[in-house]
Amino acid sequence: MFSNILCEIAIPSFGNNWLQQRVPVDSVMRNPDFRRFWFSSILAQFGAQVTLLALPICAVLFLHATPGQMGILAAFESLPFLLFGLPSGVLLERNRRLPIIMCSDFMVAIALATVPAAWWLDMLTIQWLYAVGFVIGAGHVVGGSAEQVFLTFLVGREGLVDAQAKFATTESAARVIGPGLAGGLVHLLGAPVAILCNVASFVISLLNLRRIRTREPQPPPSNSHPLRDIQEGLAFVWNQPLLRTLAWVSACWHLLFYGFSALHVIFATRVLGMTPGTMGMANMLGGLGVLAASLLVKPLSQRFGTGGGILIGLCVSALGFALVPAIPPALFGSAAWTVAAYAIVVFWIDCGATLFFVPYIALRQRVTPDAVLGRMVATMRALTVAAAPLGALLAGALGEGFGVREGLACIAIGAVVLAAGGVFGTRLRDAKA
């Protein structure tokens, strides 16, 4: 009953005739199961904003984590991509994806629920957060890959761009509203209780996903060894020049991004002197970058091709990374100008990331046949995020040894080099698919 009401929030319940009269014939919005899946995605995106802020705040403010410890935390969050990325491809090829998504969400919800429980029992430690971060990462590896494959099944290849654009639009709304909401929750209730709110969103999402009626056919049983399937997925990506190029470019981007993720909360709170509330507000304003990118990604891809759109996103995010270490604690003698500058930087990073990943995901899906789609997604995610733990650990070590601002400066240099390498060292600009 509760989930039935919530499912209709995303699309007003005026009846099928109303919907068919107002939604274009080729729109994925005519599919009720897509609307349900989209609604769960909205809950996940808003909940993720809470966790993205609250979990590192727990480490920095409550447990007084060092830059090195923040690097380890970010590494634990990304380590499952390296450990489970390739096996998850075999799992997706041999099983229905929706149950996998639901099991992954349930596992993440339980892990998050332990944080406020441990805090209330005075048992919360940085090692506890390492374990929680690892479980969250494992859920994202398996569940995230399953979501991409299930979405392709749900809307078909011809509906992928339309569906991805809608996901990007709602992500932009989550990025605009979510950080402010997260900052307010953390400020008013404390980070552990804010995390508990995200757990509630997972419960609602799971009830909603149960109402999806479309059932994938059970994949035929495979007689091949799982290691052979993993080898075939790696071989497919390696032998496809476009996928191989996308893999190394995305791997370098993830290395830099996870380095940034390891240091940015310490930089904002301890170096720039921002509170969780002002940090949430800055991220809320910066989230407009996702909104801008969601509006620009389609015309840019039409004008410059899908590969050209990827390169534009790479350059825009590089500009954001380059500006981070230049922000002073009191710009023009005012903390307010510092918050504004931080928001502008987040705007560029989020805008660039969206411009990069929306065409990136669409392009790799289009060049992959159905028979290896699950293994391709898992292989690409494993290869591209494999460097993330290294990036987080290196950034933490740089922040510990030379200072947080200096560590972010190294990330900025790497981002500029990557953008130049993508533009002048690849043929992505020729990819028009």
Q: What is the pLDDT of residue 157?
A: 63
Q: For residue range 1-24, what is the model confidence (pLDDT) as tens digits?
A: 323 323 333 333 334 443 444 444
- Give the DSSP letter string of 339-408: HHHHHHHHHHHHHHHHHHHHHHHHHHHHTS-GGGHHHHHHHHHHHHHTTHHHHHHHHHHHHHHH-HHHHH
Single out the residue of 201, 208, 157, 219 nearest to residue 33, CA to CA.
208
Q: CA-CA distances (angstroms) from residue 207 to 39, 101, 102, 383, 408?
A: 11, 13, 10, 33, 41
* pLDDT for res 222: 67
7 vs 201: CA distance, rounded Å: 13
Residue 331 three-state SS: strand
Q: Which of 411, 41, 4 is nearest to 201 (CA)?
A: 41
Token pair 């997925």: residue: 233
What is the reported pLDDT for 413? Answer: 94
Quote the pLDDT of residue 158: 66
Q: What would the pLDDT profile of 358-386 be if each residue is shown by its tens digit?
A: 888 878 877 787 777 767 877 787 778 77
pLDDT of residue 408: 93
Residue 348 CA to residue 357 CA, distance in Å, equals 14
Supply the pLDDT for residue 25. Answer: 44
Residue located via tokens 């971060």:
133
Q: Are 95 and 219 in contact (CB under 8 A)?
A: yes
Q: What is the CATH number of domain 28-210+226-430?
A: 1.20.1250.20
Residue 1 pLDDT: 31
First to last CA, the chain: 44
pTM (two decimals):
0.73
pLDDT at 159: 67
Q: In which residue ranges of the chain is pLDDT below 70?
A: 1-30, 93, 156-161, 172, 220-222, 285-287, 374, 431-433
Please report the pLDDT score of residue 27 as a whole number: 61
pLDDT score at 131 = 93
DSSP letters, 352-367, are HHHHHHHHHHHHHHHT
Q: Give φ, ψ of 27 to 5 degrees.
A: -85, 140
Spatial separation of the C-alpha atoms in residues 320 and 421, rounded to whole Å: 17
Cα–Cα distance for residue pair 227/179, rounded to 1 Å? 41
- Please state the domain extents for the chain: 28-210+226-430
Return the pLDDT at 34: 79
Which of 29, 20, 48 has the alpha carbon at shortest distance from 287?
A: 48
15-54 in b/e form (b: 16+ CB < 10 A) is eeeebeeeeeeebbbebbbbbbbbbbbbbbbbbbbbbbbb
Contact 6, 200 (CB under 8 A): no
HSE value, Cβ hemisphere, 13 Å, CA-based, for 237 = 26
